[in-house]
Amino acid sequence: MRWTNCSKSDSSEKFLIRSGGKCSGGTQKEGKWRVCVDYTNLNNACPKDSFPLPRIDQIVDSTSRQGMLSFLDDFSGYHQIPMSSDDEEKTAFITPHDLYCYKVMSFGLKNVGATYQRLMTKIFEPLIGHTVEVYIDDIVVKSKTREQHVLHLQEVFHLLRKYGMKLNPSKCAFGVSACKFLGFMVSQRGIEVSPDQVKVVMETPPPRNKKELQRLIGKLVALGRFIARFTNELRPFFLAIRKAGAHGWTDSC
């Protein structure tokens, strides 16, 4: 198994051997392996961090109709936040090779999203709502002109260096007029539906039960802002749910 951000030679820098936990593997889009630890019991014992995430629709709206955009992605973002030494052993997991625990914030923990958003909000507080928008580890720099954009990027890089944060260059796009952001296509023209979202809906087979119908409705809701009279158009789907799920599926759906 290939460990994400942790080869055999550098494991001592990322992990400490403590005690065991459940562990499995999953693949990322790039085909690399990612460690997936089952933190169900730990998460149940942790109080919820209620730090709010920004509203996606507001961020997307404020990003559209800009002259130039840069989309930045933090390098293994969660792993850039060190774990409290008192809490490291709580993240322990077992592998075929040994026992490990995280020295950095791990995927799968209950409050990682809120923790990371709090950090990003602190770092970019002077710029958020003006030249920068942040949603967890997705950062967009927006400007009206190319000249302004260079200055805005310099401000962002200064803050990243100040706090020791690193970017993933393979997932960054600099000085573009359009790009996919939080599931939407944003450009100088405004906001457009992502072809990927349409493809997912078009390739979804007719639902066979209530749960599958609810999943389909969830996919359609994501496209709601692009569909005229969306609530009325979706009414047959809600009626189908009331009629015991897929058994209420009719031609009107």
pLDDT in tens, 134-163: 998 889 999 999 999 999 999 999 999 999
**Residue 93's CB: how many other CB atoms inside 10 A?**
23
Report residue 34: phi and psi, to 5°. Answer: -125, 135
CA distances from 33 to 5, 25, 28, 42, 195 (A): 10, 7, 6, 23, 27
Residue 251 predicted with pLDDT over 90 = no
Mean pLDDT of the chain: 79
The domains of the chain, with CATH numbers, are 8-187 (3.30.70.270), 195-248 (no CATH)
Greater model confidence, 186 or 130: 130
Q: Where does the pLDDT of residue 252 fall: very low under 50, low under 70, confident under 90, or very high at 90 and above?
A: low
Residue 117 predicted with pLDDT over 70 = yes
Query: CA 30 to CA 104: how far, in whole Å?
Result: 22
Query: CA 245 to CA 27: how far, in whole Å?
Result: 33
222-227 mean pLDDT: 73
Q: Specify the pLDDT at position 58.
A: 87
Residue 3 predicted with pLDDT over 50 = no
**Residue 194's CB: how many other CB atoms inside 10 A?**
16
Instruction: State percent of the chain over pLDDT 90.
Output: 27
Q: Specify the pLDDT at position 29.
A: 55
Q: Specify the pLDDT at position 115.
A: 92
**Residue 31's CB: how many other CB atoms inside 10 A?**
7
- Closest C-alpha to 56, from 136, 112, 126, 131: 136
Phi-psi region of 187 (alpha: psi -120 to 50; beta: other; left: phi over 0): beta
